[in-house]
Amino acid sequence: MNLATLVESSVWFFVGYFVLINGSYLLIHGAALVGARRDSRERSVDAPYNLHESPFVPGIAVVLPAYNEAPVIVSSIRSLLSVEYPDFEVVVVNDGSTDGTLERVKAEFDLERADAAYPLDPPCEPITDVYRASDANLVVLDKENGGKADALNAGLFFTDQPLFCAVDADTIIERSALLEVVRPFLRDPERMLATGGTVRVANGCSIRDGVVQRVGLADSRLVNLQTMEYLRAFLSGRIGLSVLNSLLIISGAFGVFRTSAVREIGGYSTDSITEDMELILALHHHFAERDRAYSVEFVPDAVVWTEAPESRAVLARQRSRWYRGLLESLLTHRGMVGRRRYGAVGLVALPFFVLVEALGPLIEGVGYVLIPVAFLLGVLDVPFFVLFVAVALGLGTLMSWLSVFTEVVSFRRYTRPRDIVAILGYGVAENVLYRQWKALIAWKALLQFVRGDKSWGEMTRVGLEK
């Protein structure tokens, strides 16, 4: 086989793989459109009872792990305390912070030490103190540093509520979000294990007293690229996978779980660097192995807002951790891939994550380098090069724009025409620049994974309230 034939075969391979990736996303987006339409119909029907007054609404503990979150911790707690829900408590877990996080909470919420015994022996680092607020449903656990999963376990094993909600310390929760995200538990109380909501980018929004007053875009192009990415991930990916009974991730920024179910599997894994995906896979694995009927759902109307990284260095560390965590979880649960006993998770979701989410960025990265080089060397003719660019960039842009369409038609958080036009523009830029950069990060993360790197990386916060 001569060089020209080899290059031509390689081009067709990369074009075919790009079609596979974007075709898979297109199928998922089609399922997402069906799910969004169904949710829209359900929202238009009045509930037969008032959730605020219903005795059937289960109590929820909102568990907020905090390590060096001083810039955002007060606004996050205010946001949580302002939610509309009849029976909830906020459990803040100070995970050995060294930046004055605990002191800020003490000063703002007038905490007092409390004598509180754990109902169960918690699988976490030692708890040093328990504090309660005198005028709010707020409990603060002060413990030695053990990492995010360890802090979540502290809150999970402390509460006696039947459900718990895991949120990040940089999260602003919409007031109706808990009522929305708990609806699947009311509809199917026996089978429902976990539900997750939509995470949106808060940078650029006007926030006061823990409440988003006005939705807008940020001044940073890097942040706005993430805004476009989040829209596609949640309003296409999560909705579609949920419709297909293939949801593998409930974001660590906002998820509700049956407390007893998570305790049954031993809580969060403290060995994983992406504890959110690992938890959902562990629940799927545990309940399917025992032939117990269960369900995991995504609720797009339950919305929280989070601070996105504003520097490339911080974003690169975040995405590297996400990719290494994906590889780690897929490797841990590799025995589920392609197995009928695990239902749609084994036959659909896991193969998709292996072929598209794990291998996709790596193969894309090779294609981004090899094909332009071949074109510049004259080995590749113009029609093939144009075909590659059209598939690689055109289909990706189409997917991004379809997500914007779903946002505009169904959810309408962004209402100003100039913001919508700008997001469409970022849908193009994301596929021209941002996607290639993420492929490079994936290759670096793969090398770190092979070396056994399990570092978290510092996530610098600047605060959301302006």
User: Please, which pLDDT band fits residue 42 given cuts at 50, 70 and 90?
Assistant: low
- Tokens representing residue 423 in the block: 């997001």
The full set of domain ranges for the chain reads 1-46+170-466
Give the CA-trace dihedral at 372, 374, 375, 378, to 10 degrees: 160
- pLDDT beyond 60 at 127: yes
**Confidence bin at 240 (pLDDT 50/70/90):** very high
Residue 92 DSSP SS3: strand
Contact 211, 117 (CB under 8 A): no
Would the pLDDT of 119 be above 70?
no
Q: In the predicted model, what is the mean pLDDT of residues 274-292?
A: 95
List 133's β-bridge partners, or say none.
111
Q: Which helix (H) or strand (E) holds 197?
A: strand 192-201
- Least confidently predicted of 32-41, 90-99, 104-113, 326-335: 32-41
Q: Calculate mean pLDDT across residues 296-304.
A: 93
Enter the DSSP assignment of 334.
G
For residue 291, is pLDDT > 70? yes
Tokens encoding 185: 């538990």
Give ∠ CA 285-291-293 in degrees, rounded to 5: 90
- Give the contacts of 266 (CB within 8 A, at least 6 positions apart): 123
Mean pLDDT across the stretch 8-23?
A: 78
**56 vs 239, which has greater pLDDT?**
239
Residues in Cβ contact with 17 at an 8 Å cutoff, skipping those fewer than 6 apart: 360, 363, 364, 367
pLDDT digits (tens, 9 = 90+) for 128-162: 999 999 877 999 999 999 999 999 999 999 999 99
Nearest CA-CA partner of 158 in 128, 102, 116: 116
For residue 341, what is the DSSP state?
A: G
pLDDT beyond 90 at 402: no
What is the token pair recorded at 232?
């596609």
In angstroms, the CA 224 to CA 198 distance is: 17
Q: What percent of the chain has pLDDT over 70?
A: 92
pLDDT surpassing 70 at residue 369? yes
Mean pLDDT of the chain: 88
Q: Return the amino acid letter for 320.
A: S
Report the alpha-carbon distance of residue 453 to residue 446 in Å, rounded.
Answer: 10
Q: Full-prediction pTM beyond 0.85?
A: yes
